[in-house]
A = this chain, B = another copy of it.
Amino acid sequence: MARRKQAVTIKHVAADAGVSLQTVSRVINKEPNVRPEMMARVQESIAKLGYVPSIAAQRMSGSRSYLIMALNDRERTIEGWKSREGTDWVDQMLLGGMLTCAEHGYRLIVELVDTHSDHIERELSAAIAALQPDGVLLTPPHSANPEIIALLDAAGIEMARIGSLTPGPGFRLTMGDDLAAAMATRHLIELGHTRIGFIAGSLEYELSGWRVDGWRAAMNEAGLSTEGMLGQGDFSIESGRICAPQLIDAGATAIIASNDQMAMATLEVARARRLSVPGDLSIVSFDDTPVVRFAHPPLTAIEQPIAAVTARAVELIIGARSCRAALDTPVVVTPSLTVRESTAPPRS
């Protein structure tokens, strides 16, 4: 195979339209100072020749790379894919991120990095040097990682930190974790529950705390005690197996788990104890993943708008040059609660 060259370049277009390279470039980049008639002529040639700019060349000459990198935790992601249990975080990111990127002529590229690794900086620097993305989507627990943030900031790369409110560079977005927890709690309160347990997620994630806050706020608001009702999990199914029994023993008639794994563990524990769900125990999951939907009974769950928040993040990054306003105020994409068959009034 010969040295592969671009089929149609800006030169061809310029020649065809009878203008300079520069003018074509201006049209491509929608720059001002081009007469409408010139523009029309150039665009006609572009369409005729089927010209598409090479992002490699664009990047080379110092402009954008039209690439956005989505950083995810390697271990967790691979584990999810291998287990084939329907962990669809990446899918939802792709759904929201890829499509939004495509709308603006960008591409989304998924990158996995180890959170707990001393060479995280090297890994990330390498990815940045190789790809030179215009922006990076940071997901928990990377979103608040000071090393990563500093590195990206120093490199002058836009970033959207999903699930972090830690001040610093970059856009911050959340999926209203406190709201969601409160929403779930109120749903249970309305059903008549007074002993509502909550299994928290790993403290490494900021959002774990917000969820606890939301639950506690809703409980206080209703004048209910949270005494003995908080279990400290870490998002793993094992931690759910440990926390659920404790809460049940403490008299919980309903349990909200901070993710799907812990919710499934809770369901498992209930089954082992021959407690009917939702008869004896109501359960709410904090992820509306396939596992949760296909559980028996299907679980009432908080639906986190992962696709929506990712789409928003991409938009912020792409529009970063123009509107820096959003930098100060975090963006909140509101979650929703899907009531299924795992929640009901407590046995009186």
Contacts and interface: CB of A to CB of B under 8 A. Distances in A.
Taking residues whose C-beta sits less than 8 angstroms from the other chain, chain A's interface range is 35 or more
A325 interface: no
Contact of A290 (B90, B110, B131, B294): B294
Given A126-B52, A294-B290, A3 B62 contact: yes
A79 to B, nearest CB: 10
A62 B94 CA distance: 30
Interface stretch (A81-89, A137-145, A266-274): A81-89
Contacts of A155: 4, 7
What number of copies of this chain does the assembly contain?
A: 2
A289 B84 contact: yes
B107 A94 contact: no
B291 A132 contact: no
Contacts of A107: 109, 111, 130-131
Contact of A130 (B52, B82, B111, B293): B52
A107 B193 CA distance: 51
Contacts of A50: 122, 125-126
Contact of A55 (B51, B90, B130, B157): B130
B81 A129 contact: no
A163 to B, nearest CB: 19
B291 A290 contact: yes
B62 A293 contact: no
Given A4-B132, A129-B6, A56 B65 contact: yes
A74 to B, nearest CB: 10
Nearest to A47: B122
A6 B132 CA distance: 8
A62 B4 contact: yes
A59 interface: yes
Interface in A1-60: 1-8, 50-57, 59-60
Interface of A: 1-8, 50-57, 59-60, 62, 65-66, 78, 80-82, 84-86, 88, 90-92, 94-95, 98-99, 102, 107, 109-112, 122, 125-126, 129-132, 155-157, 288-291, 293-296, 307
22 contacts: A3-B62, A4-B155, A4-B156, A6-B132, A50-B125, A50-B126, A52-B129, A52-B130, A54-B59, A54-B132, A55-B131, A56-B57, A56-B65, A80-B91, A81-B95, A84-B88, A84-B288, A85-B293, A94-B110, A109-B109, A290-B294, A291-B294
- 9 nearest A-B residue pairs (beta carbon): A294-B294, A86-B290, A52-B129, A86-B86, A56-B59, A81-B95, A56-B56, A3-B62, A52-B126
